[in-house]
Amino acid sequence: MTCDEVKPLLNAHMDDEINPLRRTAVKSHIETCSSCATEFEQLESLRNAIRAEMPYYRASPKLRNQVRVALRSTEYLDRDTLRPNWRVWGAIAAGAAFCALATAPFIINDRNQSQLLAKEFLSAHERALIGKELDVISSDHHTVKPWFNGKLPFSPPVTDLRSEGFPLEGGRVDYAGDRPLAALVYSRRLHRIDVFVAPTGGQKAPPTHFEQNGYNEISWKKGDFLFTAVSDLNTAELASFVRLLQTQ
């Protein structure tokens, strides 16, 4: 073999990724050619240097713990005995929302529009349960609130209700009613509550109470914001959660 043939194979030869027939030929060429030998040596010392000296970044115990917690909270959905077919329900809800949207041009009265919006919030909640995780995981409202900076054209009010039994778990950016929203996530025992927040400005509002597929949805206005809380929590408990938020 000539140098021109051997040089392109030096990397593969070092990585032991060359076919055995050529390996012998490359090897014997290197033994007799000082230029190829030098190049090969340099490749080897580069590899040795990387393997010996490149810092291997290890996951912190905090990250290890966060991953475990996240996995565990995702698994809960699979075990939910109240809604064993949550995938099916999710698909049905998504299908229903899609049909509703597809027929929207034919249904133009306000009531239906407001119902549609209610369904969109519900779909957003279900989507989040099925797949999309929290973008910011923190029980500290001083962490969650600034996280939205630059991601939304407004700054949503964020309160923790841990001492009242509804700890803040985090938040994400979501989308419903043709605009981006802040979604704040709270928990109550094993239930999850999504609170969607957007400025009121010229927007139609969903009905104050909406119920579907075992989900409850409560909407209200406070200050410049429209809030919608969605959860599989029972109406009474969700209502008391909403009262807490309203009075904070």
Write out the residues near other proteins by the rule CB under 8 A.
Answer: 8, 10-12, 15, 17, 41-51, 53-60, 63-64, 66-68, 70-72, 74-75, 78-79, 131, 133, 137
Q: Which residue has the tokens 């043939």?
A: 5
Q: Alpha carbon of 58 to those of 47, 63, 224: distances in Å? A: 21, 10, 45
Return d(Cα 41, Cα 10) in angstroms, integer: 10
Compare residues 60 and 109 and give the one whose CB is closer to other proteins: 60
Nearest distance in Å: CB 124, other proteins: 18
**Which residue from 99, 127, 97 is spatially nearest to 196, judged by alpha carbons?**
127
Nearest distance in Å: CB 123, other proteins: 18
Nearest distance in Å: CB 92, other proteins: 19
Compare residues 43 and 239 and give the one whose CB is closer to other proteins: 43
Compare residues 120 and 169 and give the one whose CB is closer to other proteins: 169
- Nearest 5°: the CA angle 124, 136, 183 is 30
Q: Alpha carbon of 144 to those of 169, 186, 223: distances in Å? A: 9, 12, 20
Nearest distance in Å: CB 217, other proteins: 25
Compare residues 8 and 105 and give the one whose CB is closer to other proteins: 8
Nearest distance in Å: CB 102, other proteins: 28
SS3 61: helix
For residue 166, count other CB atoms closer than 10 A to its CB. 23
Compare residues 75 and 211 and give the one whose CB is closer to other proteins: 75
